[in-house]
Structure 1
Amino acid sequence: MLSVSFRRLALLWTVRRVPTNGERPRVLAVDGNPDGAFTIAAYLSLEDIDSRAAFGGRQATEAARVWTPHVILMDVSMPECDGIEAARVLRRDSRTAGNAIIAFTAFDEVEVRRQLRDSEFDGYLQKGVALTEMLKLVKAFIQ
């Protein structure tokens, strides 16, 4: 008997939706690799999304507090302050608690969920997924 399994690459984990109030959607792309963050931000800009790049968890928390993105694509594995800790910091801050945060990682979904304590992330996106799928997931969090 043939058994086939499929990896789930882009998922909504919560019902959180972030209102844009008629503004252009803002997305912060966070990655430990600057080229990766810049590439995602550039792609999103081509899709009429105001996007910026941050490199690492500390820079992500600082940028999010000042700029207030609607959605944050957060790499999980980064030096100094990883994405899970950065997401916890953002959830505790009233200025960023309502942001949609997507785990953007090479780790599979099971591994990411194993590391979570609460509702740090609203969605999951595996690195390497088609950019069109990433865009669909980002837009799913925006009202």
Structure 2
Amino acid sequence: MFRLVDLKPLAVDNGQNGAASFGYHGNSVGNPKAPNSRRWLVGASMPGKYFTTFEASRLLGVSLPTIVNWIKANRLKAHKTPGGHRRISREDLLGFLRKYQMPVPAELAAETDRALRILAVDDDPDERDLLRAILEGNGYEVELAANGFEAGLLVGAFKPDAVVMDLMMPAMDGFSALAALRKREETADTPVVACSGLSDPASRQKVIAAGFDGHVVKPYPHEELLDLLTRLLRGEPERMARSSH
């Protein structure tokens, strides 16, 4: 699904006679036809990596003035060195790409030694065990929570790359948990997949309106959930119709 956000188009200076276009361009971005790896994204091969504005422009396939303009507009976070030079952290660059639904460059999406982390939230212990088996069997690092409240306590330390969330749970349901995650800076743009037995049209519309990034309906083929997570973790927006029954 495409998350609905109220954003103005990003002005991109293509460096040709001062002309500007809108959107995202460049051949150096991630290839959507890249091999189907279960451990893509987050650039974990570069822990603590910072990019210069020039490196970021090369990585994203845009001009240097475009990067600077995004920073000045407070769209892309940057830090200044004691010498006054801008540096962009790997995490901030990834957060920017996720927020504006841009493809992730191959250098950031390279397969790494650190498995991607998935937080699986479900009040049914059998479902939690099933999710752990599915996800760990495909190379993910998994943490489990029994409800939205527990999930909120875990995200700070676990730092999940994505969340799989049941909807009907005690203490805090999936809708309330999603709203709480979106209010936290570190999880505001983390992909969250609704995973529930609710398949009626009214529930589907509620899932869409809440802002989930995808929806799988129990019982579901394991490959459906895995393929959905792969696409979302690559930064590819997901249309809800493709991930639900």
TM superposition score category, shorter chain reference: 0.7 to 0.9
1:77-96 correspondence to structure 2 within 5 Å:
77-96=168-187
2:41 & 2:209 partners in 1: Cα distance?
23
Please state whether the residue corresponding to 1:36 is helix, strand or coil: helix
Q: How many residues align?
A: 130
Q: 1:64 to 1:112 in 2, by over 3 A?
A: farther
Match in the other structure for 2:216: 125
1:121 & 1:83 partners in 2: Cα distance?
10
Residue segments in structure 2 that go unaligned for 5+ positions in a row = 4-39, 45-113, 235-245
After superposition, the CA RMSD in angstroms is 2.2
2:196 & 2:212 partners in 1: Cα distance?
12
More strand by proportion, 1 or 2? Answer: 1
2:200 & 2:158 partners in 1: Cα distance?
29
2:226 & 2:200 partners in 1: Cα distance?
19
Q: 1:109 to 1:51 in 2, by over 3 A?
A: farther
Larger radius of gyration: 2
Q: 2:120 touches 2:132 (CA, 8 Å); kept in 1?
A: yes
TM-aligned CA deviation for residue 142 of structure 1: 1.0
Residue segments in structure 1 that go unaligned for 5+ positions in a row = 1-12
TM-aligned CA deviation for residue 65 of structure 1: 2.3
1:1-143 correspondence to structure 2 within 5 Å:
13-14=1-2, 19-22=41-44, 23-108=114-199, 110-115=201-206, 118-143=209-234
* TM-score normalised by structure 2 residue count: 0.49
TM-aligned CA deviation for residue 117 of structure 1: 8.3
Structure 1 residue ranges, 4+ long, deviating more than 2 angstroms after superposition:
109-120
Paired letter, 2:231: A
1:81 & 1:101 partners in 2: Cα distance?
16
Q: 1:28 touches 1:41 (CA, 8 Å); kept in 2?
A: no
Q: 2:194 touches 2:207 (CA, 8 Å); kept in 1?
A: no
Q: Deviations over 1:36-82 (max 9, x none)?
A: 11210122101111112111110111112221111111000001210
* TM-score normalised by structure 1 residue count: 0.81
Name whichever of 113-122 and 30-39 sits farther off. Answer: 113-122
TM-aligned CA deviation for residue 116 of structure 1: 5.1
Paired letter, 1:56: N
2:220 & 2:202 partners in 1: Cα distance?
17
Please state whether the residue corresponding to 1:77 is helix, strand or coil: coil
Calculate percent identity across the aligned residue pairs: 26
